[in-house]
């Protein structure tokens, strides 16, 4: 057995230990508390565990949280559920959990870098504990999926939801936007059961739901000057290639184009980019692996796994997390209609802030080693992470991470969302580490992944915090 297989085997053994704890708890008719994270990965994880518990006939309650803090820990300490299952969160907050819940039975199914040691009453299933990279190779939903599959093989039908979770955490960092490592095993499960199709295609967002010219307008990776953000010109570009945007009275989505049309579109875009002086590999960024959930209805945002993640994020960010979990558990119909409405509102919100950001050049401030977006008073804290992710791929200087923040409503705290690219993590940048160290210096809290991290610090300290982050980024990137 190779080293890689050994790591996976050890991780899978830990997942089946967790499965035994869960099955036994249900057998003993205990009331189980599930606490999961608010983003697409967390909601997918919640859906997977909830569906597994439902199938076992368990009694459980799902609670979705933005993060673990004192008040959540106090609440659990007061209620003292027989078993608490934390999914897609927990490992980054072991000290806090140890402090107040050390005699509670807690199961942590997470992929965040563990900070500290877990109390002996806790069982922690985390790929990092077995030398597997949890920021890229397995998501919170993925960890939960392996536990679900160990509970009952039938839960293999939840593999597509774990694929959605991984894509929600932007783990498609392998060549051509592919999921790799342990995630690949989940993709294989989903394909072998006939739930998933994997193909290389144009990566336009909205391939199932947006008119092609709109999808083209929204391409920002790469940013195509004269096309990105310009709907009329995008439409004209398509028409000039002989691609008809409508079939009968209906706008065509990318999914409706023939292979020939897609080839023509790609090579025209490649020629266009070349004519603007871009090196040829830039055009290759338009192509990549597309994950299609074959049992979902065409033209719905659930069919393209990446659109699915945005729908989930929207429900989470706009206080409709329960809807997201229900969809991950298989609800459609009215739940999907409501989720679609939430998605529309979410898109309006994001678009509003993106136009605010581009109105004036100094709204994305460039410091020596970082970019800063000061969103206080403008941007709602619940979408700051999504905006930071969007901005991170289209910064003029790709060698600097973006640090965006906004004020948490009703609190004297700011929420910071930091993002960077593989280009910098491969050179040793670890934003999770920097957020944690810098936040702790100012009596805040921070953490996360090397590529995507966040923090909460008092409003009064934000400038000093940013200065320190700037310094730490520079230090990490010039070390060695
Ligand atoms: O791990 P967690 O689910 O808390 O991640 C939060 C956010 O970090 C995700 O919603 C995603 O936007 C971002 N992320 C990223 N790249 C990664 C992992 C996470 O941009 N490799
Ligand atoms: O909130 P945001 O999407 O920016 O979070 C990015 C990553 O940082 C997530 O994995 C989140 O769990 C982590 N984070 C953290 N501590 C905070 C804020 C965010 O560990 N105070
Ligand atoms: Zn996650």
Low-confidence residues in the chain, pLDDT < 70? 480
Q: For residue 448, report the distance from its CA to the centre of ligand 2, in Å.
A: 5
Measure the CA–CA gap between 220 and 224, rounded to whole angstroms: 7
pLDDT of residue 50: 98
Q: What is the CATH number of domain 3-183?
A: 3.90.1640.30
Q: What is the dihedral of CA 234, 238, 241, 246, to 10 degrees?
A: -160
Query: What pLDDT score does 67 carry?
Result: 87
83 CA to centre of ligand 1 in angstroms: 27
**Block residue for tokens 């939960």:** 144
| Structure token pair of residue 264 | 């023509």
Find the residues whose C-beta lies inside 6 A of ligand 2. Answer: 67, 92, 112, 385, 417, 445-449, 452-456
Residues 49 and 99: beta-carbon distance below 8 Å: no
- State the closest ligand 1 atom to the C-alpha of 135, by its place in the atom list counted from 1: 21
Q: What is the pLDDT of residue 58?
A: 98
Ligand 1 lined by 113 (C-beta under 6 Å): no
Residue 6 three-state SS:
helix
Determine if ligand 1 sits within 6 Å of the CB of residue 66: no
The ligand 2 atom nearest the CA atom of 92: 20
Tokens of 448: 């996360």
Select from 61, 134, 64, 49 the least CA-distant residue to 313.
64
Indicate the pairing of strand 413-419 with strand 445-448. unpaired
CA of 226 to the centre of ligand 1 (A): 30
Three state DSSP letters for 362-416: HHCEECCCCEEEECCCCCCHHHHHHHHHHHHCCCCCCCCCEEEEEECCCCCEEEE
The answer to whether 163 touches 307, Cβ cutoff 8 Å, is: no
The beta-strand segments (E) located in 93-139 are: 106-109, 122-125
Q: Looking at ligand 2, which atom is closest to the CA of residue 417?
A: 4
Q: Are 93 and 64 in contact (CB under 8 A)?
A: no
Give the pLDDT confidence score for residue 480 in this predicted structure. Answer: 62
**Which one of 454, 456, 461, 465 would you pick to mutate in the ligand 2 pocket, going by the greatest count of ligand atoms within 8 A of its CB?**
454
Residue identified by tokens 């401030």 is 365
pLDDT at position 87: 98
Question: 477 with 369: CB under 8 angstroms?
Answer: yes
Domain ranges of the chain: 3-183, 200-347, 360-478
Which pLDDT does position 361 carry in this prediction?
Answer: 87
Atom of ligand 2 nearest to the CA of 418: 4
Of 126, 324, 449, the residue with max ligand 1 atoms within 8 A of its CB, to mutate for a pocket test, comes to: 449
| pTM: predicted TM-score of the whole model, two decimal places | 0.86
Determine the Cα–Cα distance for residues 434 and 450; give it in Å rounded to an integer. Answer: 9
Ligand 2 atom with least separation from CA of 39: 3
**Topology match between the domains 3-183 and 360-478:** no
List Cα–Cα distances, 135 to 175, 425, 436, 450, in angstroms.
16, 11, 16, 7
- CATH architecture of the domain with residue range 360-478: Roll (3.10)
């Amino acid at each position: 057995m190779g080293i890689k297989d050994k790591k996976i085997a050890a991780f899978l053994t830990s997942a089946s230990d967790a499965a035994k704890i869960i099955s036994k708890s249900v057998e003993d008719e205990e009331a189980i508390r599930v606490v999961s994270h608010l983003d697409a990965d967390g909601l997918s994880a919640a859906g997977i565990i909830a569906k597994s518990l439902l199938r076992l006939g368990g009694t459980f309650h799902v609670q979705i949280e933005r993060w673990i803090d004192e008040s959540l820990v106090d609440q659990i300490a007061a209620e003292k559920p027989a078993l608490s299952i934390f999914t897609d969160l927990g490992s980054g907050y072991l000290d806090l959990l140890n402090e107040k819940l050390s005699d509670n039975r807690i199961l942590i199914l997470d992929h965040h870098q563990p900070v500290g040691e877990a109390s002996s009453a806790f069982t922690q299933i985390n790929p990092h504990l077995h030398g597997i990279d949890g920021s890229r190779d397995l998501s919170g939903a993925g960890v939960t999926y392996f536990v679900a599959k160990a509970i009952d093989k039938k839960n293999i039908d939840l593999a597509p939801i774990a694929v959605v979770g991984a894509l929600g955490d932007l783990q498609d960092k392998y060549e051509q936007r592919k999921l790799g490592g342990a995630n690949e095993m989940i993709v294989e499960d989903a394909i072998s059961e006939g739930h998933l199709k994997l193909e290389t295609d144009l990566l336009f967002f909205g391939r199932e739901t947006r008119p092609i010219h709109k999808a083209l307008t929204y391409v920002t990776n790469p940013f195509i000057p004269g096309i990105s953000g310009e709907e009329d010109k995008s439409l004209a570009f398509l028409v000039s290639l002989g691609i008809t945007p409508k079939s009968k009275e209906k706008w065509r989505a990318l999914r409706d184009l023939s292979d020939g049309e897609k080839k023509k579109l790609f090579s025209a875009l490649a020629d266009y980019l070349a004519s603007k002086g871009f090196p040829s590999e830039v055009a290759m960024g338009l192509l990549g692996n597309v994950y299609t959930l074959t049992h979902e209805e065409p033209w719905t945002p659930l069919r393209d796994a990446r659109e699915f993640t945005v729908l989930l994020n929207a429900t989470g960010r706009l206080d409709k997390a329960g809807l997201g979990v229900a969809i991950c558990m298989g609800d459609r119909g009215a739940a999907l209609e409501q989720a679609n409405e939430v998605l529309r509102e979410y898109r309006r919100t994001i678009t509003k802030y993106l136009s605010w950001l581009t109105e004036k050049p100094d709204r994305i401030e460039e410091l020596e080693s970082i970019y800063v977006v000061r969103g206080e008073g403008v941007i709602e804290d619940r979408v700051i992470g999504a905006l930071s992710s969007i901005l991170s791929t289209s910064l003029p200087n790709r060698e600097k991470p973006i640090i965006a923040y906004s004020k948490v409503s009703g609190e004297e705290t700011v929420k910071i969302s930091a993002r960077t690219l593989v280009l910098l993590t491969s050179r040793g940048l670890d934003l999770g580490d920097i957020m944690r160290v810098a936040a702790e210096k100012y009596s805040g809290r921070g953490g996360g992944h090397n590529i995507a991290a966040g923090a909460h610090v008092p409003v009064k300290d934000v400038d000093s915090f940013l200065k320190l982050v700037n310094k730490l980024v520079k230090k990490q990137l010039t070390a060695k």
